[in-house]
């Protein structure tokens, strides 16, 4: 049974108990979106549905090397420490994997965090305060915004991937911290990192790059877009979720050793959350080995990205043949996105709806995420499903 009331009488009764007006508005908005989703039904996708909704881009889930490392650690009865990582010694498994990832990415040091969210929030808390100007790409991850706002920093949003707008703001407000994502999950585009880095360096700003959707995918052995572009010595900090290509429940921050050590004892998520467990760290270490050694996964992923993007563009979808593994099918409104996603599921294609709060209600879309396991037959079938469903929905709307 749902604990959230789904009728106006229940909502009104709740309000009579003293529910704050702003909470009432938020709940009513949620209920409206939920009713839209229920109106589409809860389709049961076909058993052989094509999976295009997972962040497991390299299809490492269930990889024997990863599961065996996790099982061995669990069976070994390791000395897990159920406390903040701030109390861990230099000889722990966590410290070993931090140093390994730092070396892999060409950084001085790295800090393992409980999640990508904790990594982003904690980083902004460590490097900003009320006197800091933060220049935030409008599509930067919500955790970056929350982290900067929690310190009282002056946050100046700039247009997505617009280095000239960024430069105008820096000239207006002064030196600060620039925050971008290497690839944006909200629209599937990659960042013009060379141009952004040039602006940051020219104006003596520190640069933070969220590489959640590019680590493992780009660069030699999957070292990320920053490394692929030769910018490792110009980007001050990188943060990323490990629950994407590395299929691990954790996050990571890299940067100068002096500041990373400060991060461990200053960022609230680092201090006030328990450390990542050892079996998870063992899985991460094995996953890192796999992405470095099995380059064929990246090659197949790149081929699949090109193929799906090209074929969708050829079927009159607003999709660029060039771009990341994140492909948006724009619909405009949230109800239209929910309707399209439900229809695709019924037809045997699994995507995800992106709408408020990820995007505005008028910029909603169905997101397709390409992975390395897709065959050319899968891709052709996915394009056929998208085309057939789109045309059917258009006929209904015109009727």
> Over the stretch 290-341, which tens digit does the pLDDT of each residue have?
999 999 999 999 999 999 999 999 999 989 888 899 999 988 788 888 899 9
More confident site: 359 or 62: 62
Residue-averaged pLDDT of the chain = 88
Dist CA 167 CA 160 (whole Å): 13
More confident site: 391 or 24: 391
**Sheet of 109-113, strand order:** 109-113, 251-255, 237-241, 206-210, 177-181, 133-137, 154-158
Residue 66 in tokens: 């990863």
Percent pLDDT > 90 in the chain is 68
Residue 41 has pLDDT above 90, yes or no: no
- Model confidence pLDDT, tens digit, residues 204-253: 999 999 999 999 999 999 999 999 999 999 999 999 999 999 999 899 99
Q: pLDDT-based confidence at 275, cuts 50/70/90? A: confident
Which of the 8 DSSP states describes residue 115? Answer: S
Please give the full DSSP string across 139-180, using - where no structure is assigned: TS-HHHHHHHHHTT-EEEEE-TT-HHHHHHHHHHH-S-EEEE
- Model confidence pLDDT, tens digit, residues 113-144: 999 999 999 999 999 999 999 999 999 999 99
Domains with residue ranges and CATH for the chain: 40-58+295-398 (3.90.1150.10), 64-293 (3.40.640.10)
The three-state secondary structure class of 229 is coil
pLDDT on residue 398: 75
Closest to 115 measured CA to CA, from 351, 294, 284, 327: 284
Residue 25 has pLDDT above 70, yes or no: yes
Residues in CB range of 341: below 8 A, 6 or more apart: 351, 352, 353, 366
Specify the pTM: 0.87
pLDDT on residue 37: 52
Which of 162-171, 265-274, 358-367 has the least mean pLDDT? Answer: 358-367
- Selection from 37-51, 78-92, 142-156, 257-271 with the highest mean pLDDT: 142-156
Residue 3 has pLDDT above 50, yes or no: no
Residue 44 has pLDDT above 80, yes or no: no
Radius of gyration of the chain (CA): 22
Dist CA 291 CA 303 (whole Å): 17
pLDDT on residue 351: 94
Other C-beta atoms lying within 10 Å of the C-beta of residue 76: 11
Which of the 8 DSSP states describes residue 19? Answer: -
DSSP alpha helix (H) spans, the chain: 8-16, 21-39, 64-75, 93-105, 116-127, 142-150, 163-173, 193-202, 225-228, 257-266, 268-271, 278-293, 295-314, 334-347, 376-398
Q: How far, in Å, are 103, 148, 289 from residue 127 at the CA level? A: 22, 9, 31
Percent pLDDT > 70 in the chain is 86
Other C-beta atoms lying within 10 Å of the C-beta of residue 106: 17
Residue 347 has pLDDT above 90, yes or no: yes
Dist CA 367 CA 337 (whole Å): 10
Residue 11 has pLDDT above 60, yes or no: no
Q: pLDDT-based confidence at 178, cuts 50/70/90? A: very high
Residue 374 has pLDDT above 80, yes or no: yes
Asked if 33 contacts 361 with a C-beta cutoff of 8 angstroms, the reply is: no
More confident site: 285 or 271: 285
Residue 14 has pLDDT above 60, yes or no: no
pLDDT on residue 196: 98
Residue 16 has pLDDT above 60, yes or no: no
Asked if 75 contacts 278 with a C-beta cutoff of 8 angstroms, the reply is: no
Which of 5-14, 37-46, 111-120, 232-241 has the least mean pLDDT? Answer: 5-14
Closest to 331 measured CA to CA, from 312, 318, 320, 322: 318
Residue 47 has pLDDT above 70, yes or no: no
Q: pLDDT-based confidence at 2, cuts 50/70/90? A: very low
Closest to 181 measured CA to CA, from 149, 218, 137, 119: 137
């Amino acid at each position: 049974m749902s604990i959230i009331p789904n009728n106006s009488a229940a909502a009104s009764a709740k309000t009579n108990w003293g529910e704050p007006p702003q909470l009432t508005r938020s709940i009513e908005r949620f209920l409206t979106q939920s009713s839209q989703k229920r109106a589409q039904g809860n389709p049961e996708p076909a058993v052989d549905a094509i999976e295009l909704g997972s962040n497991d881009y390299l299809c490492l889930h269930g990889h024997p090397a990863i599961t065996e490392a996790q099982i061995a650690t669990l069976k070994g009865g390791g000395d897990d420490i159920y406390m903040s990582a701030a109390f861990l010694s230099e000889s722990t498994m966590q410290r070993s994997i931090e140093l390994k990832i730092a070396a892999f990415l060409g950084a001085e040091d790295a800090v393992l965090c409980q999640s990508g969210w904790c990594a982003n929030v904690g980083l902004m808390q460590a490097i900003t305060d009320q006197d800091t100007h933060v220049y935030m790409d409008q599509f930067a991850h919500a955790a970056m915004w929350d982290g900067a706002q929690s310190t009282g920093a002056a946050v100046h949003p700039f247009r997505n991937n617009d280095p000239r707008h960024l430069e105008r703001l820096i000239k207006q407000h002064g030196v600060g911290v620039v925050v971008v994502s290497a690839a944006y999950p909200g629209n599937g585009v990659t960042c013009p990192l060379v141009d952004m880095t040039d602006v940051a360096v020219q104006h003596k700003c520190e640069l933070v790059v969220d590489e959640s959707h590019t680590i493992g995918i780009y660069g030699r052995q999957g070292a990320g877009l920053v490394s692929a572009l030769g910018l490792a010595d110009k980007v001050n900090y990188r943060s990323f979720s490990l629950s994407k290509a590395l299929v691990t429940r954790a996050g990571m921050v890299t940067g100068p050793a002096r500041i990373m050590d400060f991060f461990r004892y200053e960022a609230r998520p680092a201090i006030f959350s328990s450390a990542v467990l050892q079996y998870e760290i063992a899985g991460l270490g094995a996953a890192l080995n796999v992405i470095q050694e099995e380059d064929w996964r990246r090659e197949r992923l790149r081929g699949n990205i090109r193929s799906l993007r090209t074929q969708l563009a050829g079927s009159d979808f607003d999709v660029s043949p060039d771009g990341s593994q994140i492909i948006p099918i724009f619909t405009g409104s949230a109800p239209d996105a929910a309707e399209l996603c439900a229809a695709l599921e019924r037809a045997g294609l699994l995507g995800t709806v992106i709408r408020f709060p990820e995007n505005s209600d008028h910029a909603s879309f169905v997101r397709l995420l390409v992975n390395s396991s897709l065959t050319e037959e899968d891709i052709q079938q996915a394009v056929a499903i998208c085309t057939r469903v789109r045309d059917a929905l258009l006929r209904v709307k015109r009727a």
